[in-house]
Amino acid sequence: MRNRQATQLISELSHSGRRAAEFPQSDVPNRPLDEMIPRSFQGSTLPKLPEMAEPDVVRHFVNLSTLNMSVDTHFYPLGSCTMKYNPKRHERLARLPGIVDVHPHQPAKNLQGLLELLFDMQQMLAEISGLPAVSLQPAAGAHGELTALFVAAAYFRERGETRTKVIFPASAHGTNPASAAMAGFECIELKGTRSVPGEHGGTGGFVDLEELKRHVDNQTAVFMVTNPNTLGLFEKEIAQAAQIVHDAGGLVYIDGANMNAIMGITRPGDFGGDMMHYNVHKTFTGPHGAGGPGSGPICVRDYLGKYLPGPVIQRTTSPAGENRYEFAIPEKTIGRVRSFFGNVGILVRGYCYLRTLGPAGVRAAAEQAILNANYLKELLADVLPSANGKHCLHEFVASAEQLAKSSGITAMDIAKRLLDFGFHPPTVYFPLVVPQAMMFEPTETESKATLDAFSQAIHQIIQEDAELLHQAPHTAPVSRPEEVNATRKPVLTWPKA
Ligand SMILES: *Cc1c(COP(=O)(O)O)cnc(C)c1O
Residue 327: CATH number of its domain: 3.40.640.10
Q: What is the pLDDT of residues 112-132, one digit of tens each?
A: 999 999 999 999 999 999 999
Q: What is the pLDDT of residues 405-426, one digit of tens each?
A: 999 999 999 999 999 999 999 9
Instruction: Tell me the C-alpha to C-alpha distance, in Å, between residue 388 and each of 160, 231, 372, 394.
Output: 42, 8, 17, 14
Angle, helix 344-380 to helix 448-461, in steps of 10 degrees: 60
Cα–Cα distance, 205 to 183 (Å, whole number): 28
Percent of the chain scoring above 70 in pLDDT: 93
Q: What's the domain count of the chain?
A: 1
Question: For residue 175, how far is its CA from the centre of ligand 1 (angstroms)?
Answer: 7
Residues at CB less than 6 angstroms from ligand 1? 80-81, 140-142, 173, 175, 226, 230, 255, 257, 279, 294, 296
Per-residue model confidence (pLDDT) at position 388: 79
Give domain status of residue 215, yes or no: yes
Q: Is the pLDDT of residue 291 over 70?
A: no
Cα–Cα distance, 78 to 442 (Å, whole number): 8
User: Of 3 and 63, which is predicted with more confidence?
Assistant: 63
Per-residue model confidence (pLDDT) at position 222: 98
As a whole number, mean pLDDT of residues 66-95 equals 93
Question: For residue 407, how far is its CA from the centre of ligand 1 (angstroms)?
Answer: 33
Give domain status of residue 239, yes or no: yes
Instruction: Tell me the C-alpha to C-alpha distance, in Å, between residue 349 and each of 80, 93, 290, 355, 365.
Output: 20, 8, 18, 10, 16
Q: What is the pLDDT of residues 354-411, one digit of tens each?
A: 999 999 999 999 999 999 999 999 999 999 999 777 899 999 999 999 999 999 999 9
Q: What is the pLDDT of residues 153-196, one digit of tens each?
A: 999 999 999 999 999 998 899 999 999 999 999 999 998 777 76
Give domain status of residue 82, yes or no: no
Question: For residue 488, how far is its CA from the centre of ligand 1 (angstroms)?
Answer: 23
Give domain status of residue 20, yes or no: no
Per-residue model confidence (pLDDT) at position 196: 66
Per-residue model confidence (pLDDT) at position 492: 62
Per-residue model confidence (pLDDT) at position 324: 97
Ligand 1, residue 145: give the atom nearest the CA.
Answer: 10
Question: For residue 99, how far is its CA from the centre of ligand 1 (angstroms)?
Answer: 27
Phi-psi region of 333 (alpha: psi -120 to 50; beta: other; left: phi over 0): beta
Torsions phi, psi of 405, nearest 5?
Answer: -70, -40
As a whole number, mean pLDDT of residues 10-22 equals 91
CB 276 within 8 A of CB 262: no
Q: Is the pLDDT of residue 44 over 90?
A: no
Give domain status of residue 477, yes or no: no
Q: Is the pLDDT of residue 66 over 90?
A: no
Give domain status of residue 381, yes or no: no
Q: What is the pLDDT of residues 200-259, one digit of tens each?
A: 555 678 899 999 999 999 999 999 999 999 899 999 999 999 999 999 999 999 999 999
Nearest Cα residue to atom 15 of ligand 1: 80
Give domain status of residue 192, yes or no: yes
CB 395 within 8 A of CB 440: yes
Nearest Cα residue to atom 2 of ligand 1: 257
Per-residue model confidence (pLDDT) at position 1: 39
Q: Is the pLDDT of residue 197 over 70?
A: no
Question: Looking at 28-32, 228-232, 282-286, which range is the least confident one?
Answer: 28-32
Show the domain range for 178: 89-357
Give domain status of residue 26, yes or no: no
Question: For residue 56, how far is its CA from the centre of ligand 1 (angstroms)?
Answer: 39
Ligand 1, residue 226: give the atom nearest the CA.
Answer: 13
Nearest Cα residue to atom 3 of ligand 1: 141
